[in-house]
Amino acid sequence: MRHTGMRIGHHVAIDRDFDYLIGQEEFINIEDYVAIGNGVKFWNFNHINVGSFCHFAADSTLVNGGHNISSLEPFSGPLVIGRGCWIGNGARIVGSLVIGDNVIIAAGAVVVEDIPAGAVVAGVPARIIKMRDLADRQWHLGDEFFSPATFQLIRDE
């Protein structure tokens, strides 16, 4: 996918059926250590930036464009997903939004507003249900862990 103009970091895993707007690949930036599950969709009408150590469960969708309900004129804006976020199965993130670092978005949630760092959100529309108490180590994949403060891999000595 890098040859299309999409910026993809190191150690990124993208499962089958990942979909996006062809011809606008340069709008997508995926940082290091990101895992994208089966059937995930990025409708990149504008810039989408995904921070390092994010996980996207199957069938989650990002869309940063829409239509004015009066005129149906299209609009779009940037969408930023912070570092260390978990996006649950079937979640939808809709709009020009900023999702803070270390956010968890529950399965099936529909996010239509900015989310502050460390929040856990659920529901339609998504609402904050709690703030996370972050452990010093966060699991990534396999036997890898990262620091939720520095977003660096933690190497066991």
Map residue 116 onto helix, strand or coil: coil
Give the C-alpha separation, 100 to 76, whole Å. Answer: 20
Beta strand pairing call for 65-67 and 48-50: unpaired
Cα dist. 77→50, 63, 102, 112, 115 in Å?
A: 15, 10, 22, 13, 16
Q: Is 67 annotated as catalytic? A: yes
Map residue 76 onto helix, strand or coil: strand
- The answer to whether 53 and 83 are in contact (CB under 8 A) is yes
The separation between CA 31 and the C-alpha centre of its own chain, rounded to angstroms, equals: 11
Q: Which of 10, 11, 67, 140 is catalytic?
A: 67
Measured between alpha carbons, how far apart are the two ends of the chain, in Å?
35
14: nearest Cα among 82, 65, 60? 60
Catalytic residues: 67
